[in-house]
Amino acid sequence: MDRKSIIKIIALMVTAFGIGIDFTGALMLVPAIESSFDADITSTQWVLNIYALFFAMTMVAGGRLGDMYGHRRMMIIGLSIFLFASILCFVSPGLDYLIGARALQGIGAGCVWPCTLAFGATKVAKEEHRALVMGLILAGVTTGNVFGPMISGAVVNLGDWRLFFLANVVFSCVSMATAILLMERETEHKKGEHIDFAGMGILSLAVLLLLYGLDVGADWGWTSLPLILLFFVSAVLFFLFPRVEKRVKEPLLLPQLMQNREFLITLGLNMFNVSAAFVGLLYFPQYMQKVLGWSVFQSALGLAPLTVLLAVGSIVSGTLYNDFGPKRLLFWGYVCSTLGAASVVVMPASAGYLQILPGMALIGLGATLTVGPSGTAAVCAVKPERAGLVGGLSFMTHLVYGAISVACATAVMYVSSLQSLKTGLAAADIDMSDTDQKAINGGTLTTESAKAVMQKLSSDEIEKVKSAITAAFDTGMNMAFVFATFSVAVGIILALMLDEKKLHKIEE
């Protein structure tokens, strides 16, 4: 490989690294954001969910636009959007503003990521080097996943979580400069490409309404008429989506794919493997900060058993796939993830960090055995000319279900922890209004609302309330992982249903 190609690969790896740090790094900021904007976990979860949703829904369109107008051009446009959104995150005056900026970041990343992969595969790598180049780009993003939490910890220790988004600005500027200076303009583009905006719009709105309903359910009441109507509209949109797909010229879901049993199984295997990992990435850092009292940087280091395994998995999964085949890898990977999620529930709270350490290791190992192989298996289930579409669709499904899992787990966590808090306060003979209980539920006592509640209490009552809050958070987190356990366990069944012989027979 010549020097010019190596420099381009390094530039693409830097771009991938910037996307990687943004995803995991932002999760470490949740407690700090709660304090800054006087919010609870049901609201701050959107910092992850809205980014994942818009990233996922933009990615297919971003890839298609790159084919139509040039991958270099779309990379630069996407990086410009990402850069602008990062500045908006930095100056956010409120949580709603930050969530909107994160959505815009997701759109930018959704344009950049598929074009980064496509440019590396078609304009940098020769045929014999393509697998190596793809592996290096993926190594860039997974390395970013490892270092993202550490960057978050460092900036919070400096006193302001907003500084994290300045790191995004730096990497975006570097990536834009390298794209402009090092990447040659493309002169030939695909003609006659169409983008399924109708399908993307309907699916995005259906998921968004579902996530919003899970967010406000505890406040509105799970049996309230407005919430039931919200879920009904979401269900109608999910019902309409495949029917709309039958009418558009180039749908996200081709009718032939929906009739392919092995493809549907592999698509499911792409979905359920993310549940435990996403829930873990959200709640493990909070547990270390809110229950164990660790700093953000300490919790970033404590998260390493999960993030490092996720990074290593992306590098070694290809070799494992060739050596063992998808069925065995996916089955044992899902078994590991299920046991990991379950271990968080059954390990005693008195174990401290050891309560979550086995879970992190097993979930990380499970992700190593499932994330890459499930995507490869999906591509193997279709004709070669549909590989690009299916690859994007698999990753989109992966992120969308991850967002839904986080929303479901958070709804379960909030209700469970609030009930546990009520019980704990009653046992301590402390009378507190429902409004005050909601203000301190979730374990962040540095918000203005929580401080106002704690100021009403005597020193003896404060210690009792802190104990009740800690126990409540642990109970809520355990219930979130009960949901994750059942969700991931579905993958064990799907892995057993997968027929490897049919998988490698190209669908007609």
| Whether residue 325 is found in the same domain as residue 467 | yes
Residue type, 148: G
Report the number of distinct structural domains present in the chain: 3
Residue 430 lies in a domain: yes
| Residue 108 burial (10 A CB sphere; 0-12, 13-18, 19+) | buried
Q: Are 473 and 291 in contact (CB under 8 A)?
A: yes
CA nearest to 41, candidates 482, 416, 354: 416
332-359 burial string, b = 16+ CB within 10 Å, else e?
bbbbbbbbbbbbbbebeeeeeeebbbbb
| Whether residue 478 is found in the same domain as residue 341 | yes
Q: Of 151, 182, 213, which marks where a domain is finished? A: 182
| Whether residue 433 is found in the same domain as residue 310 | yes
| Whether residue 329 is found in the same domain as residue 476 | yes
Q: Of 131, 147, 182, which marks where a domain is finished? A: 182
| Whether residue 123 is found in the same domain as residue 233 | no
Looking at residue 49, its pLDDT comes to: 83
Domain that holds residue 31: 1-182
| Whether residue 204 is found in the same domain as residue 301 | no
Tokens of 7: 């420099």
Q: How far is CA 213 from CA 127, 229, 415, in A?
A: 48, 10, 14
The 3 state secondary structure assigned to 147-181 is: HHHHHHHHHHHCCCCCHHHHHHHHHHHHHHHHHHH
Residue 353 lies in a domain: yes
CA nearest to 108, candidates 142, 88, 85: 85
Looking at residue 193, its pLDDT comes to: 63
* CATH label of the domain that carries residue 371: 1.20.1250.20
Distance CA(486)–CA(189), nearest Å, equals 45
Q: Of 251, 269, 293, which marks where a domain is finished? A: 251
Q: Are 499 and 297 in contact (CB under 8 A)?
A: no
| Whether residue 226 is found in the same domain as residue 137 | no
Q: Whole-model pTM? A: 0.84
Residue 363 lies in a domain: yes
| Whether residue 103 is found in the same domain as residue 238 | no
Residue 192 lies in a domain: no
Residue 328 lies in a domain: yes
Residue type, 483: F
Q: Are 472 and 424 in contact (CB under 8 A)?
A: yes
Residue 59 lies in a domain: yes
Tens digits of pLDDT across the chain (508 residues): 667 778 888 888 888 888 888 888 888 888 889 888 888 877 888 888 888 888 888 887 787 787 778 888 888 999 999 999 999 999 999 999 999 999 999 999 988 888 887 777 666 656 666 666 766 777 788 788 888 888 988 888 888 899 999 988 988 898 889 888 877 776 665 666 677 788 888 888 998 898 889 888 877 888 899 999 999 999 999 999 888 888 877 777 777 777 778 878 888 888 898 899 989 988 999 999 988 989 888 998 999 898 888 777 766 766 677 777 788 889 999 999 999 999 999 999 889 999 999 999 999 999 888 887 887 777 666 665 565 567 677 778 888 888 889 889 999 999 999 999 999 999 999 989 988 998 888 877 888 888 898 998 888 999 999 999 999 999 999 999 999 999 999 999 999 998 877 765 544 4
Residue 39 lies in a domain: yes
Residue 349 lies in a domain: yes
| Whether residue 313 is found in the same domain as residue 174 | no
Helix (H, G, I), strand (E, B) or coil at 458: coil
Looking at residue 508, its pLDDT comes to: 46
The 3 state secondary structure assigned to 298-344 is: HHHHHCHHHHHHHHHHHHHHHHHHHHHCHHHHHHHHHHHHHHHHHHH
| Whether residue 265 is found in the same domain as residue 320 | yes
| Whether residue 156 is found in the same domain as residue 235 | no
| Whether residue 242 is found in the same domain as residue 260 | no
Distance CA(76)–CA(244), nearest Å, equals 32
